[in-house]
Structure 1
């Protein structure tokens, strides 16, 4: 009985560690900008697919490189998703600050686009996107150098946008006609792909009758490293100080000369990069598909709300509590622990599935928020009262 509880708690903590990795970026973004980013799960999905691609590249190099691809995958996932987050903030989020419902709808639409992009992406689509980006953003950058940019901005965009879309589309059609299937076949498709853990992460640490998988131990260590890194960045670095200042009082920070737009872009990029690292960890726990992010986005938001918006310690506590409770209930561990008490056995048996465990978890969270609506660690200060 004790062994089952210890094993269940360990697995729950490792699940909570993944939630914490994803929630770290979301908590910072939501706390700083008030943005409800429904595409955060898709950033995790991109991080998982990046891990898959890096794995295949290192496998082609043979041993011993294939055993250490995970370190390159973590770096690549962070950089790639941070770049996507930067573009998302510049192209969509920046125009919706102060309107949380609009950001929710806009990022939900972006998440659907990202899912379909992964299902359909091929060389034609990639080449078209690159051509469009170079022509459109390059043209806007060149026109911004003109002294009368403000006067011609609207008609310049009205001309550039359809023109660059037409050129990119024409080039895609030309490539498809010339190279046929070679460039039009989707890279990933709708089916799931699998990421294989390196040899040194297979198996587990045996302590008595207990078995602790190395993969889950690695995820816990990775989460601890990310939490320490984010804490040091926010508390010890100049940009961390600027982020905390903007989070507490945006207007006063702007008056003091802090570039709030740059802080927003940096914060959103870091949050997106953390989602990519979370996706890298998720890829070891199951197959990776276009809907991977949707399996975690709700739980991630629950961590942010229960822990307290913008609070690092709150996110840690909430992620561990939610992950552990969800696993212990859904896996039937509580059913085995309370085997001698029939009412409790019947109760936990009813909720001993993943979907029903989430129902119970939602009920507990709603009850908790009735008592503490601002979460475990609510924000304090004048900005909260405004």
Structure 2
């Protein structure tokens, strides 16, 4: 009996830690989806960028040696948040802002961005990076200069048509020149298609022994990190002026605009905040396995499930849904439930059939479909005038 209880404790713990990762990713998605109605298919790639940022920070701290390299995690969390928040800010300003109210186009555009980011981490090297920086400097710098002209609206389309191929040609030429002059032609990609590994610091190795099981310190750290992020987001939304503006725009965008709230600035801030949380989730994911260009794709579907089941835009809904889905998926997929219901043979046979990772997901999807038939708005549906409208 004791062994069964310990196995149940281990299964619940691992399920909660898995749900914590989903919650970290879903927090940002729930805020963005709830405020702007944007289906961001590139959210998983923002997690991937956060994981790769952690890998780079780890390598940088290795140059410092002991004892600094054991504390790279805290710098990695800050760096992952800032990098992904900046990328999210650019994504909102450069792509999504022009597609509000058009969910299908937004979905396709962000899916394209996700493919671009995946290929970017596979191919990026010094020549590639130099070409991108030169192109961005020429194109966006030229647009910024031309916008100061009084007839900008008249020449806008012509300016884009001229600057785009000109900037691309110059950046390609400079990249080819650098490759030939400095022998960078054979430069290998920084990351490539293969995965890279992030090594946990010494104080996160091992685990907490309880009976004949061990609770890994890395998963304990992820749970504590999730709790800290949830508390931080709650305090930001409930106690800060910008949090009040975000909640106001979520409830009624038109009225908020009439009251002088800069809704476009709120959109950018919200998207940057959600993207930064995805980066923190990517940092946590990097401790659980290899980091590759497909890392984000492993979590994006589950993250959307959390948002839909919990209720769009609801923080408490995301928390409950993430923990329930993560725990259920692990208990079923790991075979823990089979041991618990072993005396009841029909039930044991049923859970044995689903006691694999892929089949557990099938069962979870079926349960979610059945649940949404009765509560299509999720566990905690939105309330307010925008819902009534």
TM-score tier after normalising by the smaller chain length: over 0.9
The reply to whether residue 229 of structure 1 matches residue 227 of structure 2 is no
Which blocks of at least 5 consecutive residues in structure 2 are unaligned?
A: none
Moved more, 176-185 or 101-110: 176-185
Moved more, 256-265 or 9-18: 256-265
Alignment partners' CA distance in 1, 2:275 and 2:185: 32
The reply to whether residue 13 of structure 1 matches residue 16 of structure 2 is yes
Counterpart of 1:25 (choices 17, 24, 28) is 28
Matched residue, 2:290: 287
Alignment partners' CA distance in 2, 1:174 and 1:340: 73
TM (normalized to structure 1)?
0.98
How does 1:223-372 map onto structure 2 within 5 Å? 223-372=226-375
Secondary structure of the corresponding residue to residue 63 of structure 1: coil
Alignment partners' CA distance in 1, 2:46 and 2:154: 37
How does 1:117-132 map onto structure 2 within 5 Å? 117-132=120-135
Counterpart of 2:74 (choices 71, 77, 88) is 71
Which blocks of at least 5 consecutive residues in structure 1 are unaligned?
A: none
Alignment partners' CA distance in 2, 1:55 and 1:193: 12
Tell me how far 1:210 sits from its aligned partner.
3.4
Moved more, 220-229 or 340-349: 340-349
Runs of 4+ in 1 over 4 A off after TM superposition: none
Is contact 1:122-1:183 (8 Å) kept? Answer: no
Alignment partners' CA distance in 2, 1:237 and 1:173: 50
Alignment partners' CA distance in 2, 1:116 and 1:57: 24
Q: Deviations over 1:1-27 (max 9, x none)?
A: 111111100000000000000000000
Secondary structure of the corresponding residue to residue 63 of structure 2: helix
The reply to whether residue 144 of structure 1 matches residue 147 of structure 2 is yes
TM (normalized to structure 2)?
0.98
The reply to whether residue 162 of structure 1 matches residue 165 of structure 2 is yes
Counterpart of 1:49 (choices 49, 52, 65) is 52
Is contact 2:178-2:184 (8 Å) kept? Answer: no
How does 1:203-218 map onto structure 2 within 5 Å? 203-218=206-221
Tell me how far 1:182 sits from its aligned partner.
6.6
Rate the CA distance shift 1:76–1:182 in 2: closer, same or farther, 3 A. Answer: farther
Superposed CA RMSD in Å reads 1.0
Is contact 1:175-1:183 (8 Å) kept? Answer: no
Alignment partners' CA distance in 2, 1:301 and 1:183: 40
How does 1:61-210 map onto structure 2 within 5 Å? 61-181=64-184, 184-210=187-213
Tell me how far 1:155 sits from its aligned partner.
1.1
Moved more, 193-202 or 125-134: 125-134
- How many residue pairs match? The answer is 386
Alignment partners' CA distance in 2, 1:222 and 1:67: 17
Tell me how far 1:154 sits from its aligned partner.
1.4
Is contact 1:123-1:183 (8 Å) kept? Answer: no
Alignment partners' CA distance in 2, 1:329 and 1:303: 18
Tell me how far 1:181 sits from its aligned partner.
4.2
Secondary structure of the corresponding residue to residue 257 of structure 1: coil
Is contact 1:254-1:260 (8 Å) kept? Answer: yes
Is contact 2:127-2:184 (8 Å) kept? Answer: no
